[in-house]
Amino acid sequence: FDVPDEPIIPFIHGDGIGQDVAPAAQRVLGAAAEATGREIHWMRLYAGEAARERYNENLPADTLEALREFNVGIKGPLTTPVGAGFRSLNVALRKRLDLYTNVRPTFHIDGVPSPVSDPGAMDMVNFRENTEDVYAGIEWEAGTDEVEQVREFVEEEMEFDESIHEGAVGIGVKPITEFGTKRLVRKAIDYALAHDRDSVTLVHKGNIMKFTEGAFRDWGYEVAAEEYGDEVITEDTLWEDEDGDAPEDTLVVNDRIADNMLQQILTRTDNYDVLAMPNLNGDYLSDSAGAQIGGLGIAPGANIGDGRMVAEPVHGSAPKHAGKDKANPTALILSGRILFQEIGWDDAAQKVYDAVEATISSKQVTYDIHRQIEGGEKLATSEFADVIVD
């Protein structure tokens, strides 16, 4: 992404703990920019609750227009009230801007407690498809005409017995397209090649869902085999090879079934590098991977399309902690670091990482990390940001 040295960067603070972590992240990112001879002009944008107050709508046209115009942006979490009549705003925003890749790096920061014995081995980048799968939101409530139309067919297929036959049925659709899969897998492979990674693993449930997740695997392999020449090799080709080792400087594309993958990231973490996944697998897997490296307060992410991105932490709005100046801003700060990397500000990105790591490893931490370590100092969100900036 090309941006000027003094860019305007749109920032949606977000709901719930967004009001706490956004100003903290803004200060840290602003300081890193300044320390590397740049200046960021933040443009405050509204979505969610703040937008309802100002614009009387959840996702105002002004917000979408600014994100389109400036190409890069950053956002805090947005609440999706259960049963409130609209689908997730986050999903809507990703779809409206066609931010089809959700990138979630999972790496361990020194000093962060972890439930696994060797968290340092965790260094994965998760590529989650962002616009398809069950997140397309195509589903029908029990009792609607649409359900009634297909109900008989569903009952026959599922061999329902009488008692179930009498009850309600809800129905959903899971679209996975060749186009959506291939552009996601391309992003994962391009990233892996650019960052000297060893492998890209397609994570799917194709053994059960053959025409959706199985197709995801097949289309993923097609991209690997047909579009990258000698730079990329698929695992089945390796098995045909005598010693089964990939030639040096070759990226290996392999695949794993999703449930197996969830246990392998706990037990054989260092075997995995870059993962490419349909939407739902990516959602589960990246939260779970986040737990290994200190929890949601730490886990960063970004939504990336072609020529456009919005950085965004993995966590949600955690309403019960909102407005208390206690939430951990690290996830949002490190999402900003991804933004810096994507706009070529590698020195500023490094400064952000070094300062966050130095602060956390000195045991000056927010409540979520503090309760998992011995000793140390429990800081408010704003105090934690002060230490990082210092």
Site for ligand NAD in 353-372 (CB under 6 A): 368
Which position among 32, 169, 258, 331 is part of the footprint of ligand NAD (CB under 6 A)? 331
Q: Does 336 sit near ligand NAD (CB under 6 A)?
A: no
Is residue 306 flagged as an active site residue?
no
Interface with ligand NAD includes 283 (CB under 6 A)? Answer: no
Report whether 170 contacts 139 (CB < 8 A): yes
User: What is the total count of residues that contact ligand NAD (CB under 6 A)?
Assistant: 19
**Does residue 297 belong to the site contacting ligand NAD (CB under 6 A)?**
yes
Helix axes 18-35, 381-389, angle to 10 degrees: 10
By the 10 Å C-beta count (0-12 exposed, 13-18 middle, 19+ buried), 76 is classed as buried
Of 78, 112, 338, 349, the one binding ligand NAD (CB under 6 A) is 78
Task: Determine the residue type at 348.
Answer: A
Given the residues 98, 123, 218, 259, select the one marked as catalytic.
Answer: 259
The answer to whether 135 is a known catalytic residue is: yes
Q: Is position 95 an interface residue for ligand NAD (rule: CB under 6 A)?
A: no
126 marked as part of a ligand binding site: no
Measured distance CA(105)–CA(38) in Å, rounded: 26
Q: Is 341 in the site for ligand NAD (CB under 6 A)?
A: no
Phi then psi for 7, rounded to 5 degrees? -75, 155
Is residue 318 near ligand NAD by the rule CB under 6 A?
yes
CB 95 within 8 A of CB 180: no
Residue 128 counted as an annotated binding residue: yes
HSE-CB of 184 using CA atoms within 13 angstroms: 35
Please identify which of the residues 95, 205, 326, 351 carries the catalytic annotation. Answer: 205
Catalytic residue from among 20, 46, 95, 135: 135
Nearest C-alpha neighbor of 182 from the set 219, 154, 150, 147? 219
Q: Which residue has the tokens 């509204």?
A: 46
Taking the complex as a whole, the smallest distance from the CB of residue 119 to ligand NAD amounts, in Å, to 18
**259 has catalytic annotation:** yes
For residue 209, give the 3-state DSSP assignment.
Answer: coil
Residue 327 touching ligand NAD (CB under 6 A): yes
283 counts as catalytic: yes
SS3 186: helix
Backbone dihedral angles phi then psi of residue 258, each to the nearest 5 degrees: -60, -40
- What is the rounded distance in angstroms from the CA atom of residue 136 to the CA atom of residue 82? 17
Instruction: List the one residue from 80, 201, 234, 281 that touches ligand NAD (CB under 6 A).
Output: 80
Find tokens 């973490």 and name the residue. Answer: 269
367 labeled part of a ligand binding site: yes
Judged by CB under 6 A, which of 58, 328, 359, 364 binds ligand NAD? 328
User: How much is the CA Rg of the chain, to the nearest whole Å?
Assistant: 22
CB of 316 to ligand NAD, least distance (A): 2
The helix (run of H) or strand (run of E) holding residue 124 is strand 123-129
Q: Is 79 annotated as a binding residue?
A: yes
Residue numbers at the binding site for ligand NAD (CB under 6 A):
17, 21, 77-80, 90, 296-297, 312, 315-318, 320, 327-328, 331, 368
**Binding site: what residues are annotated?**
79, 88, 90, 94, 104, 128, 283, 328, 367, 371
Catalytically active residues, by annotation: 135, 205, 259, 283
